[in-house]
Structure 1
């Protein structure tokens, strides 16, 4: 859950945009945006219902971050992440395992083609997690040229989405910076994210915002992806 670092931030201009922690009643809108505008990976393909539960788990977790960009009462963008990825994954498994497993199973049964791909590429890994036998990953980067250091908690920015009709107004930048300010306030020194390579990803956006590329690998869908890292304390120095 978020602290005061992310509360009450507004953007000036002709159309005022408020960046703030999401409310429970706004998760339907964030899920719809996620599925429509960021359809990569397994979870969005499971549909709005599953993604809404996934967002709610982040909202309830003490390590989760869900921010919304709101204009005239309408959610026009959001960001999803955590201040401590391993702790967030462990909390969700400990508190939302049954709900998410049942929702995921229902979604897979309604999507047989997706279910077959899931069994091939992800089944054993997810089964171990749901049974409590798999450790939460400590990092999101694949093999890369930047050596690891003695970091503590690792925050992860999982998604930023802005509705197409509201792009070009720096809303994505404000969402990212507010997320980083929240992470910095939690005392975390490293944030990572993964984005698709090429036109399907947002590498240019993150590089212009000061993120550093630290790794490349192929994900479970067979797509090339880049991993980026940033020190969230740098945002406060801008």
Structure 2
């Protein structure tokens, strides 16, 4: 994914995930946030093209705590300014943020002493954040290709597992992930009341190529 892909990615995100909090902050904030996946070495962002046009995307992180630190250091002030501007013209959303999310976000801002290593530590869980396939490209294997690339990168980085959430029940893609070996790990409810199902995929870290010893 490059910056030139961001208009497509943001438009598809808004269409497929309109109820997410970041989506409700508007296209400007979502563009700034999605850009963080392009600058962090612990993040991955892919786009699939067909006939020269993007038809699907995936964003995820190989080491969530390390990526979070990168976002705060490299993009924190800009994201905060955009969020405040968006909330200022959305008073109902601002009140919802104060009631349900402000405390959690402030806790994440507390500095921690540990520093990121050169690669995810053993046992790290890679998180597949969002994957979307444009409607005209469904059933062509685009989603499987995107997920497969992310899983391969996570295994190569030494992650122990990959994780994702999807809407619970018939609205979500749970059966699709189960057919591809992902394991259901439970359900959670968002501050907005949406029920999400969590899935994990155990990974076998790749061994470096080279002569046997």
Q: In which range does the TM-score fall when normalised by the shorter chain?
A: 0.7 to 0.9
After superposition, residues 1-238 of structure 1 pair within 5 angstroms as 22-129=1-108, 132-133=109-110, 152-233=123-204
> 1:59-115 deviations in whole A, cap 9, x for unaligned?
100101111011122111100100111111121112111011111111112222221
Inter-partner Cα distance in structure 1 for 2:135 and 2:111 = 38
Aligned-pair RMSD on alpha carbons?
2.0
Per the normalisation by structure 1, the TM-score is 0.77
**Unaligned stretches of 5+ residues in structure 1:** 1-21, 136-149
User: Aligned with 2:154: secondary structure?
Assistant: helix
Inter-partner Cα distance in structure 2 for 1:79 and 1:110 = 30
In structure 2, the CA distance between the partners of 1:210 and 1:43, relative to structure 1 (3 Å rule), is same
Structure 1 residue 200, shift from structure 2 partner: 2.7
Question: RCO (CA 8 Å, sep 6+): is it higher in 1 or 2?
Answer: 1
Q: How many residues align?
A: 198
Inter-partner Cα distance in structure 2 for 1:77 and 1:94 = 29
Inter-partner Cα distance in structure 2 for 1:179 and 1:225 = 21
Which residue does 1:12 correspond to in 2? none
**Unaligned stretches of 5+ residues in structure 2:** 113-120, 207-213
In structure 2, the CA distance between the partners of 1:40 and 1:209, relative to structure 1 (3 Å rule), is farther
**Counterpart contact for 2:158–2:205, Cα < 8 Å:** no
Runs of 4+ in 1 over 3 A off after TM superposition: 232-235
